[in-house]
Structure 1
Amino acid sequence: MPQDTKTGSPADVVGVLDTSAMDCVQANMALVADHLLGPGSHAGLGAPVRFMPRDRPGDLPTVEPTVTEHARVLRDLVGVDIAEPTDGLRAATALEALHRGSRLLFVVADAYSLPWCPYFVRQHMSHTFVLTPHERLQDRVRVWDAYDNETPFGRARPGGWTMTPNEVSRILDGARPVRAGTVTVLPGHVTPDPGDVLRRNAEALTGTGTRAVEEYVSAYRDHPDRRRAAEALLLETWLLARSRRLHHTWLTTLPAGTAGAAGVRAQAEQADAWQEFAGRCYLAARRVRRGRPEPARLHERFAQLLTRDAELARRLAA
């Protein structure tokens, strides 16, 4: 499948967009935001900062937002709407929608089926990408993926690829269901006042309470399968570190004085602390894989960082 990032307007975004503070859903939402609204328009994706662990039956709780939650932020704080993804999308339907005028489809699929992805034929997990018509060839489409990350199977690199209908069919018509939604700009959208956003952040994090932090941390600290807990904690802290970094990026785009220079610096330090802790969790997971115990006070530090998030949100909103 040939790669081509030199033509097609999303190519200009894929080449320069920094997605190092985003997960795979946010990365491609940022792609469509900057493509449709201009460079830097995606910054609002980092405006909310939350701690909302949700239970997963038979598994550890997670703070990973759903695609719907990410899409709500994109709509309300950036002004780009992704229609509620349709389950069981088929290739013929997707291609028809593209050439009928939708022009952009945001797709949630199985990374196991995506030939440009390091997880291809190695691991099943949700991933996203964007489909657009080919600008010159009627019987081809473009696939865009802005995600950039080191994975256990190699680096996920941002890029754009030309695909035939048969190649699209192999992805969309596989055994696992694929979802996709059309992408549109909301006319007349007004970005919420940053001060209001900061106050909502403080209310959300304060309202969660210390008990929720204790229950979440203890779920990982006390889980009987230490390897499973260590691997899951690594993913959780990776998500938290990226979200706190993206929040700092958003703060730097605000008018001077909105959050206060000291507050912005404190958020940068907090993002650095989360990044450092994610590195510690990576080493902890390696230790557990070798049959060794996790470092002492690892989970105590986890709770401290979550508590500090709430304290900092109150400071930024003051």
Structure 2
Amino acid sequence: MLISAVSPERVTLQAYCGCGTNKSPQSFRNKISVSPLPGVGESMQEMRSFAPCAHLLDHVDSSYLDCVWDTVALLLAQAGVIDVRTPFAHSWCFRTIEDVDTGVMVDLPPRAREKSVERFTGFWPEWRRIGSVAEAIDEWREELRSGRAVAVTGDAFWMPWLPYHEKEHMTHGFVVEGVEGGREPRIHVVDPYENVTRWGRAEPLATKISLGDLGPALDQGSWAALRSSGAPEPIDPVREVLANCEAIDGAHQEGTVSAFLSAHQEMTAEALRELTLETWLLTRDRELHALWLAEQGPGVEDFAGAMAEDVVPKWRKLRELTYVAVRRAEAGRSVPATVTDALAAALDAEARTARAHLSTDRIRRVTQ
């Protein structure tokens, strides 16, 4: 008797005639398939838990999302959400938060993003702190067996597939689509992140890593799985654009923008590093919004053109200037005033674009 195939559900046995070592296909007489002993199938399933999602990487706007929300976008794609862009791209606003260490900072990624995701997809990510890594792995296996990949955040310094590895400590997210193995599990990682760093390029990828190698990255980390909350809300582009323009105009009228500008007049190396990060976030956010607008069709075409032609280029210019300026400051060289001028120009372009659209809308309402 020869075991010729094994699966968690069945064991296939083949009985052959003859003796010695002759086990050619012609010598087999019978093939039977039986259930394994109680517990064997279950233990094999425990060893391998998968909810594949690497094949959906091209559904994620990796070039524009940050390194945590891109993982949520991938989970949404795996959950069957067709429009993965709208939850992250529909909003255009300028809000700030007060940080104890760095002062006034732009609110990006926005604190309201989870509400946007739930509003337009019917899902929300339930985040949990990683306490015991062993317990977290068991919880991940349970989610994976239910068909749900999980998003995980940890310290990029300990993630060997990233250019930040052993160079910079920062929170970074990735997706776990599989766990295999028992005593020393291997983690199947999918990382949607895309960015150019000073140490090289981060690109979307799928890889495997032993828990022993990944473990240090998970200290103080978190993980999430998607939860359903009901039917998503249909998008109304005209309504969203008007609300966005009112928010941008309000930020200028209420002094939020002027306070941000005043807080970013200092041109020290540390201040420039903060401004460079904020500019990077703002530029990617505006670029993604412009892409979303270009898909919305009748009713917002003129506004989409203004965003692409007048707003986005100014943020891109500022991003380039801040990158160069921070390198100059770190080298002890002077920083040109063009950085603050370019920041003011980008914010002014947003105000003009928003107010022009609001004015056009008022005229349209009067003439109807």
TM-score, normalised with respect to structure 2? 0.74
Query: Can you list the C-alpha shifts for 1:62-94, whole angstroms capped at 9, x where unaligned?
Result: 2143585433322223433101x2224432222
Cα deviation, residue 48, structure 1: 0.7
1:117 lines up with 2:159 in the alignment: no
- Percent identity between the aligned chains? 25
Q: Where in structure 2 are the equivalents of 1:87-102 lying within 5 Å?
A: 87-101=129-143
Cα distance in 2, alignment partners of residues 123 and 63 from structure 1: 22
Q: Secondary structure at the match of 1:133?
A: strand
1:45 lines up with 2:88 in the alignment: yes
Q: Secondary structure at the match of 2:295?
A: coil
Q: Where in structure 2 are the equivalents of 1:167-316 lying within 5 Å?
A: 167-172=213-218, 174=219, 177-210=220-253, 211-221=255-265, 223=266, 226-254=268-296, 256-259=297-300, 261-269=301-309, 270-316=311-357
Contact 2:52/2:178 (8 A) holds in 1:
no
Q: Secondary structure at the match of 1:288?
A: helix
Q: Secondary structure at the match of 2:79?
A: helix
Supply the RMSD in Å over aligned alpha carbons.
Answer: 2.6
Greater fraction of residues in strand: 2
Mind listing any 5+ residue stretches in structure 1 that lack a counterpart?
Answer: 1-6
Cα distance in 2, alignment partners of residues 80 and 314 from structure 1: 34
Cα distance in 1, alignment partners of residues 256 and 67 from structure 2: 27
Amino acid at match of 2:129: D
Cα distance in 2, alignment partners of residues 164 and 141 from structure 1: 6
Specify which of 3, 6, 11 is matched with residue 54 of structure 2: 11
Cα distance in 2, alignment partners of residues 200 and 311 from structure 1: 15
Q: Where in structure 2 are the equivalents of 1:76-95 lying within 5 Å?
A: 76-83=119-126, 85-95=127-137
Cα distance in 2, alignment partners of residues 95 and 316 from structure 1: 51
Name 1:29's counterpart in structure 2.
72
Q: Secondary structure at the match of 2:319?
A: helix
Cα deviation, residue 23, structure 1: 1.8
Higher relative contact order (CA 8 A, sep 6+): 1
Mind listing any 5+ residue stretches in structure 2 that lack a counterpart?
Answer: 1-49, 362-368
Aligned in 2, Cα 1:128/1:68: closer, same or farther, shift over 3 Å? Answer: farther
Between Structure 1 and Structure 2, how many residues are aligned? 303
Aligned in 2, Cα 1:81/1:200: closer, same or farther, shift over 3 Å? Answer: same
Q: Which structure has the larger Rg? A: 2
1:142 lines up with 2:188 in the alignment: yes
